[in-house]
Amino acid sequence: MALAAIYDGKNRTQAAAVGLMERQTLRDWVIRFNEQGPDGLVNKKPSGRPSKLTAEYRKELA
């Protein structure tokens, strides 16, 4: 909703209020959207240390 509000001509403060978010968060979304399109808004699995749980342990936990 916030991104749509920007396209409708609202400023970022107004658009953030529509989307019930902070203006900084909306700014980050706009940058990601402009760089990567809609796919930039999808949260991706962060890189980092691999999980210590093996597939067997995950099954057991499930």
Name the pLDDT band for 62 (thresholds 50, 70, 90). confident
- Per-residue pLDDT reduced to its tens digit, 26-56: 999 999 999 999 999 998 887 888 888 899 9
Q: Does residue 62 fall inside a structural domain?
A: no
The CA angle 13-23-20, to the nearest 5 degrees, is 85
If one counts the domains in the chain, the total is: 1
Residue 54 in any domain: the answer is no
Q: Is the residue at 49 inside a domain?
A: no
59: part of which helix (H) or strand (E)? helix 55-61
Taking the C-alpha atoms of residue 1 and residue 19, their distance in angstroms, rounded to an integer, is 6
Residue 48 φ then ψ, to 5°: 150, -160
Position 30 in a domain:
yes
pLDDT band at 13 (very low <50, low <70, confident <90, very high): very high
Q: What is the pLDDT of residue 48?
A: 86
Assigned domain for 58 exists: no
Domain extent at residue 9:
2-42
In this structure, is residue 36 part of a structural domain? Answer: yes
Q: Is residue 53 part of a domain?
A: no
